Structure 1
Amino acid sequence: MELLFILDPLDSLKIYKDSSYAMMREAAARGHRLWAMEQGDLAWRHGRVVGFARPLTLTGGLPDWYRAGDVAEMPLERFDAVLMRKDPPFDMEYVYSTYLLELAEAAGAWVINRPQALRDFNEKMATARFSRFIPPTLVTRRGDLIRAFLKEHQDIILKPLDGMGGAEVFRVRQNDPNLNVIVETLTRHGARSVMAQRYLPDIVKGDKRVLVIDGEPVPYCLARIPQPGETRGNLAAGGRGVAQPLSPRDREIAESVGPTLKAHGLLLVGLDVIGDYLTEVNVTSPTCMVEITQQTGFNVAGMMVDALERGAAQKAASRERGEKK
């Protein structure tokens, strides 16, 4: 296969824990050819979407872990798969990229995850599609509704809809003297919608990242356990990652939502589960492959490349059938 990865700058990747690197290493070990480019290397010209990409060779060493060849202008449908692995923020430039990727998809490119789904599945709001699995939740920009929600549940989490890595996540309890300023800051005085969820005490056991690949759950999750006195388990916020087998409830959630995710073209998704509740559906650049593999021996990147190989073979067979008609 010829695989194109759309990434942050290569030199910024922390390859000791980066899931994109794990996928690239697994693919290269199987003899697949790698290409890399950044989001800004996408363009639409002469009536087609192209990428200014470089062939990539992994060296296996540090600090120079890769060798990149000369830049080539390539139509995206030329690749067997295009993996959109640009980290958030999910800003308008990201949206514009999904428009370009959608045009490439119409021309025959296989884009992972599907561009429309990247737009449609806001990583916080997407939980509403699976409401039977989520804690009591409110989405609003109105301060009065947030205060009423807090009065009802006494202890809540507030977070923006476009955050990542635990940024701007607040735990608020009834009679918190900072309530008004927190609400004003997060909503920007009523100009930005936020999510409120009932606080889940099981966060002390970890915010579990459950990976779903091609509709099927990885059998282990990574419980990201907060530091003492902290309410956020995100690794970026200092959480400690502990791999563990999926609980029956984890598996129930993942197997229930998996077919919907697959049907929307979401090949790789990271579900966040606290206790028995689904709290987020991460679709842009899910991580934690490396930590799970290191601690359990289960080859998560291998499961992902298996899915890529199956999908590419199916698409090739479909094209061949179409050409014979």
Structure 2
Amino acid sequence: MNLLVVADPLQGFKIHKDSTYVMLREAARRGWTLWFCEAADLRVSEGVVEARSRPLAFTDTQEYQHWFELGGAETRALRDFDAVLMRTDPPFDQQYLYATHLFTLAEQQGARVFNPGQTLRDYNEKLAILRFPEVIAPTRVTQRAADLRDFLAEHGDIILKPLDGMGGTGIFRLTRQDPNIGSIIETLTHNETRTVMAQRYIPAIVDGDKRILLIDGIPVDWCLARVPLAGETRGNLAAGGTGYARPLSPRDREIAESLGPRLAAAGLLLVGLDVIGDYVTEINVTSPTCFQEITQQSGIDVPALFIDALERKVTAASRRKEG
């Protein structure tokens, strides 16, 4: 099976925790032929979506920047691969958006892309929660300072976040007593020219911001609770949080089993739900992580679960095409 992964530069992978790395390791263990390109290597030529891709092989070393070997570049249509795996990290900027449009065109030409271009566009990682109001805390989306001040006045303790970030970047906690309310709102909204999200602060963050993985709509039985540093409100590992794998609580499972089938029906093979307490705070679809942490601490082989699901999708698509 030929798998093309579209990702950020391989030499930047932190292989001790990178989820894409262990996905590819598992695929290679099964004998798949791996190909790599960056989003900048996508193109359309004579109407066909192509990638200037290079064969990817693993070396015998676990050293950073030396764990892989790349062969000579070849230009091939995306439809000629058995599967295309989109694993480029946010931010969801214009270049990312353009890539999703190329994926949609490639899918119309027979390519199998995961997650598909249309769903990547439809499910903004912050805004997608608005599709499921029954599982979210009070939320406001706006670029107007007055709207944010009203929301703060109503709830007293809120979180403000940009709509295109990752890893906790640009997230602020505001209370009514904060002396920098105006400056923070001006900074995040770029003086009311950029839309942001405000959410009521959830005190349960002290117990962790839980990442629940959904693979083809089915929750992995353990999640990763990312517990913030003392004095910090962000649990993100990139912001210094510590990850503890835990079995899903009854509420976690209720949320996952409610949203999972609906997200799978939309075409999302891999989703990372962020849950604080009883509430979903984000729905991650671009490049969900935490595979390694959950696997190492729970014994659940998350990469194998994912590659199993990918194989099933590719096999089913091939049978439909033959039929």
- In the TM superposition, 1:87-98 aligns within 5 A as 87-98=89-100
Q: CA deviation at 1:60?
A: 4.2
Identical positions, percent: 59
Determine which of 155, 162, 173 is the counterpart of 1:160: 162
* Deviation readout 1:136-189 (Å, 9 max, x if unpaired): 111111111111111111111111111111111111111211111111111111
What corresponds to 2:26 in structure 1?
26
Equivalent residue in structure 1 for 2:146, among 144, 147, 157:
144
Counterpart amino acid of residue 158 in structure 1: L
1:236-263 residue CA offsets vs partner (Å, 9 max, x unmatched): 0000000000111111111111111111
2:282 to 265, 268, 280: 280
Matches within 5 A, 1:207-286: 207-286=209-288
Q: Is the 8 A contact 1:114 1:264 kept in 2?
A: no
Distance 1:204 1:53 in 2: 44
Find out whether 1:10 has 2:2 as its counterpart: no
Q: 3-state DSSP class of the match of 1:189?
A: coil
Aligned ranges 1:118-129 → 2 under 5 Å: 118-129=120-131
- Aligned partner of 2:316 in structure 1 is 314
TM-align CA RMSD = 0.8
Say if 1:96 and 1:137 are closer, same or farther in 2 by CA, change over 3 A.
same
Please tell me the residue identity of whatever aligns with 1:74.
R
CA distance in 2, matches of 1:12, 1:167: 19
* Post-superposition CA distance 1:91-128 (Å, at most 9, x none): 10111111111111001001000101101111111000
SS at match of 2:132: helix
Tell me the equivalent position of 2:78: 76
TM-score normalized with structure 2 length: 0.98
Q: Which runs of 4+ in 1 moved over 4 A?
A: none
TM-score w.r.t. length of structure 1: 0.97
| 1:108 alignment partner AA | G
For the residue of structure 2 that corresponds to 1:84, the secondary structure is: strand
Letter in 2 for 1:236: A
CA distance in 2, matches of 1:305, 1:158: 36
CA offset digits 1:14-35 (Å, max 9, x no partner): 1111100110001111111111
Q: Which runs of 5+ in 2 are unaligned?
A: none
Tell me the equivalent position of 2:55: 55
Q: Which amino acid aligns with 2:163?
A: L
CA distance in 1, matches of 2:221, 2:211: 11
Give the letter for the 2:6 counterpart: I
2:246 and 2:212 map into 1 onto residues whose CA distance is 10
Cα drift, residue 89 of structure 1: 1.4
1:5 partner SS: strand
Counterpart pick for 1:185 among 166, 181, 187: 187
CA–CA separation in structure 2 for the residues paired with 1:150 and 1:47: 50
SS across alignment from 2:24:
helix
1:62 offset after TM fit, Å? 2.7
Counterpart in 2 of 1:173?
A: 175
Please give the alpha-carbon distance, in whole angstroms, between the structure 2 residues aligned to 1:12 and 1:115: 24
Q: Aligned partners of 1:94 and 1:162: how far apart in 2?
A: 11
Cα displacement (A) at 1:285:
0.5
Checking the alignment, whether the CA contact within 8 Å between 1:292 and 1:298 is kept in structure 2 is: yes
Aligned-partner Cα distance in 2 for 1:95–1:60: 36
Flag structure 1 segments of 5+ consecutive residues without an equivalent: none
